[in-house]
Amino acid sequence: MDSPSRSGVFQAQTDKRLEAFAESISFDRRLYRQDIRGSIAHAEMLTARGMLSGEEFALIEATLKEIEAELDAETFPISFELEDIHMHVEQALIDRIGDTGRKLHTARSRNDQVSTDVRLWVRESLEEVDAKLLDLQRAFLSRCDQDFDVVLPAYTHLQRAQPVLAPHYWLAYIEKFQRDRTRVADCRKRLNECPLGVAAVAGTTLPIDRQQTSQSLGFDRPTANSLDTSSDRDFMLESAFVLSVIASHLSGWAEEWILWSTVEFDFIKMPQAFCTGSSIMPQKVNPDTLELTRGKAARVMGNLQTLMLLVKNLPLAYNRDLQEDKPPLFDSFDTVIASLSLAAPIVEGSMLRRESIESRLEKGYLDATTLMEWMIRKGMPQRRAHHLVGAIVGEAMGRDVPLSDLTLDVMQSHAAEIDESVYKVLGSQNAVAAFVSYGSAGPDQVRSQIDRWKKRLQ
């Protein structure tokens, strides 16, 4: 059997080598639900516009649902001869109901059909990504109260910088994933225009109603230019970008917690259910889930690159190159959804190594900047305070003690303005408690951010 897309103009059969080269059924088969949904909406519109009778519509609809059930059950026969999911469904319809089935493709092309199908698929998948992002935000939020009394070093340049409450870290990731969610919503909004009825490239001379199909498929409106629509894959580029940013956030977090779970940091213990062992070293408990999260992010970013390159030189409008859009698009969604699904239980099930964190918290002079700001509050110009505290830290380093262990005499030998009350801001606990600015790492600010997120995410 040759493909129904080969009209009477052909006098030769398709070469088998081309068939294998050109098929997309091996990967676009997963669009079958969207394809059938689109076909039913199209047939309904053709009926309303007098191009199908009520009985014909009923027969088409029932048969499409039968085909869908077989695809669900994986009993539906797949063959490279029929190229893609669109031809498979249409040919099965024709095989079962003859000429009535031959009417379905009226005023439609696979060009508007594939674009409609993928938009429907991406729309649903974006919703799934959003739900997974929300789960992960909730996982971070669920740690905030239990870890409220833990102080962690914040790093810049991966050097100890200033003390922060542990939930300040968790809130940082909640913020990142919230921005991702707004990008997902934005992407969904822009893709939600219906290509159906654009047909191949110029529209149709038949009296279709594009408002109707757009509405019944849940789109905001039909697309306005058939040439543009036939070629447009912006929504795929945007999704692949949004997914790349999510993958980048996940990868950075994974990297951080891989470091934190080393003997060298010893900040966190991950749930063993998400760790793996070594086939030779019996002591190993490896953070492979996070390493794979970091590694798979590379694939997601590569997929964005593939899609960008795919479209960059295409003249208007549809070109068959575009068939290559689906594998990278699907892979990005699959990879990010899987990574998010594993991240949430790891975040929820990990334990901070409180004793280990505390035992080294006074290393690294996390309170030095707080001391400088204390001197500024006493009226000292910032540059002088910065210089003096540097000298005091140098003195403490020489003695290998934290700042709070220096006597008042020693401190006053550097700056006569220093008095007894300085000890109220020294030490990481005191230093973190002194933060007051909006969005800072201190208890009042962190508490109010936790409360704000609890209201937003519940």
Contacts for 157 with CB less than 8 Å, ≥ 6 apart: none
Which residues, 169 to 188, sit near ligand ARG by CB under 6 A?
Answer: none
Q: How many other CB atoms are found less than 10 A from the CB of residue 355?
A: 8
Which residues, 304 to 333, sit near ligand ARG by CB under 6 A?
Answer: 318, 320, 322-323
Decide if residue 198 touches ligand ARG (CB under 6 A): no
Preceding amide of 202 cis, omega within 30: no
Cα separation, 221 vs 422, whole angstroms: 65
The residue among 177 and 318 lying less far from ligand ARG, judged by its C-beta, is 318
Catalytic annotation, pick one of 26, 53, 278, 359: 278
Check if the beta carbon of residue 87 is closer than 8 Å to that of residue 114. no
**CA 226 to the chain's CA centroid:** 31
Check if the beta carbon of residue 145 is closer than 8 Å to that of residue 179. no
Look up tokens 């002194």; give the residue.
Answer: 434
Angstrom distances, CA of residue 136 to CA of 130, 166, 170, 339: 10, 17, 11, 10
Helices (H) and strands (E) in the chain, counts: 18, 6
The residue among 110 and 160 lying less far from ligand ARG, judged by its C-beta, is 110
Preceding amide of 317 cis, omega within 30: yes
Which residues, 24 to 43, sit near ligand ARG by CB under 6 A?
Answer: 24, 28
Check if the beta carbon of residue 220 is closer than 8 Å to that of residue 247. no
Check if the beta carbon of residue 128 is closer than 8 Å to that of residue 337. yes
For residue 35, count CB atoms less than 10 angstroms from its CB and return exposed for 0-12, middle for 13-18, buried for 19 or more: buried
The residue among 169 and 318 lying less far from ligand ARG, judged by its C-beta, is 318
DSSP helix/strand/coil, 380: coil
Closest distance between ligand ARG and the C-beta of residue 92, in Å? Answer: 16
The residue among 169 and 330 lying less far from ligand ARG, judged by its C-beta, is 330
Cα separation, 104 vs 29, whole angstroms: 19
Closest distance between ligand ARG and the C-beta of residue 165, in Å? Answer: 51
Catalytic annotation, pick one of 157, 279, 421, 437: 157
Closest distance between ligand ARG and the C-beta of residue 4, in Å? Answer: 12
Closest distance between ligand ARG and the C-beta of residue 119, in Å? Answer: 13
Q: How many other CB atoms are found less than 10 A from the CB of residue 251?
A: 20
The DSSP annotation for 113-150 comes to HHHHHHHHHHHHHHHHHHHHHHHHHHHHHHHHTTTTT-
Would you call 214 a catalytic residue per the annotation?
A: no
The residue among 26 and 53 lying less far from ligand ARG, judged by its C-beta, is 26
Total of residues contacting ligand ARG (CB under 6 A): 10
The residue among 83 and 238 lying less far from ligand ARG, judged by its C-beta, is 83
Cα separation, 26 vs 362, whole angstroms: 59
Indicate which single residue of 84, 180, 256, 367 sits in contact with ligand ARG (rule: CB under 6 A).
84
| Per-residue binding letters, 91-120, with ligand ARG (x by CB under 6 A) | -------------------xx--x------
DSSP helix/strand/coil, 76: coil
The residue among 84 and 362 lying less far from ligand ARG, judged by its C-beta, is 84
SS3 content of the chain, % helix, strand, coil (to 5): 65, 5, 30
Closest distance between ligand ARG and the C-beta of residue 10, in Å? Answer: 14
Closest distance between ligand ARG and the C-beta of residue 42, in Å? Answer: 15
Closest distance between ligand ARG and the C-beta of residue 253, in Å? Answer: 35
Would you call 278 a catalytic residue per the annotation?
A: yes
DSSP helix/strand/coil, 193: strand
Cα separation, 441 vs 167, whole angstroms: 9
The residue among 31 and 371 lying less far from ligand ARG, judged by its C-beta, is 31
Closest distance between ligand ARG and the C-beta of residue 5, in Å? Answer: 7
Residues with a known catalytic role: 157, 278
In the complex, the residues that contact ligand ARG under the rule CB under 6 A are: 24, 28, 84, 110-111, 114, 318, 320, 322-323
